[in-house]
Amino acid sequence: MPREPTAHLRTDPALTPLVEEHGPLDLDPAADPFRRLVVSLTRQQVSMAAADAIEKRLFDAVEVSPEGLLTAEESTLREVGLSRQKVEYVRAVARAWRERGYGRTSFEGMDDDAVVAELTDIHGVGDWTAKMFLLFALGREDVFPVEDLGVRRGMEQVCGREMTRGEMRERAEAWRPYRSYASRYLWRAYEG
């Protein structure tokens, strides 16, 4: 039977200092999974500072709901800092959410791979965005988003060497079934 996340991850000498420094980390599901998915979309391929600014402006300018994003003027969405392509993506997600009837419980009976497959079927949602949804919208405990630059840099930092993504996946197997928590510690390492 697996130990609780902190005890389990503390057994890895590479993670022990981070676990000791930061203590237990939470992994709570988001109150509104749609809004959290939109946040992940806005954070694709931009710096954290730019993402924070765009997110704040977006949430101030429009109602971040399927209807709110579909009825908002494109110019309004562009003015908050979304590229033309990201406007397309958030609207594709809004349409899918509405047309497929997604809600808070829509993904409960699905395993992680099924959720990723369901979401990546939506224009603009890739593996990274789907994994961020698993982590931050659904609070899934065993997600390893090797696509994330912060996770990769944090892993190289704690492991003390450059690694391929394949090597990272293999190394992260020791953290099952709590790779989401391990990822959060890796982000802490990367962020300094």
- Annotate the chain with three-state secondary structure: CCCCHHHHHHCCCCCHHHHHHHCCCCCCCCCCHHHHHHHHHHHCCCCHHHHHHHHHHHHHHCCCCHHHHHHCCHHHHHHCCCCHHHHHHHHHHHHHHHHCCCCCCCCCCCCHHHHHHHHHCCCCCCHHHHHHHHHHHCCCCCCCCCCCHHHHHHHHHHHCCCCCHHHHHHHHHHHCCCHHHHHHHHHHHHHC
Based on the structure, what is the number of domains in the chain? 2
**In this structure, what CATH number is given to the domain that contains residue 154?**
1.10.1670.40
**In the predicted model, what is the mean pLDDT of residues 134-140?**
96
Q: What does the pLDDT look like over 22-43, one tens digit per residue? A: 999 999 999 999 999 999 999 9
The residue among 97, 114, 137 that closes a domain is 137
- CA pair distance 28, 185, nearest whole angstrom: 15
Q: Are residues 41 and 99 in the same domain?
A: yes
Q: Are residues 132 and 56 in the same domain?
A: yes
Residue 129, pLDDT above cutoff 90: yes
pLDDT of 131 reads: 97
Q: Are residues 23 and 80 in the same domain?
A: no
Q: Are residues 83 and 166 in the same domain?
A: no
pTM, two decimal places: 0.93
**In this structure, what CATH number is given to the domain that contains residue 42?**
1.10.340.30
Q: Are residues 105 and 75 in the same domain?
A: yes
- What's the domain range around 161? 5-27+144-191
Q: Are residues 38 and 85 in the same domain?
A: yes
| 48 pLDDT tier (thresholds 50, 70, 90) | confident
Q: Are residues 148 and 96 in the same domain?
A: no
Q: Which amino acid is at 73?
A: E
Q: Are residues 158 and 112 in the same domain?
A: no
| 2 pLDDT tier (thresholds 50, 70, 90) | low
Q: What percent of the chain has pLDDT over 70?
A: 98
Q: What percent of the chain has pLDDT over 90?
A: 92
pLDDT of 185 reads: 97
Q: Are residues 118 and 150 in the same domain?
A: no
The residue among 93, 117, 137 that closes a domain is 137
pLDDT of 80 reads: 96
pLDDT of 9 reads: 96
- CA pair distance 77, 57, nearest whole angstrom: 9
Q: Are residues 75 and 133 in the same domain?
A: yes
Q: What does the pLDDT look like over 154-171, one tens digit per residue? A: 999 999 999 999 999 999
Q: Are residues 127 and 167 in the same domain?
A: no
Q: Are residues 90 and 41 in the same domain?
A: yes
| Mean pLDDT, the chain, whole residue set | 94
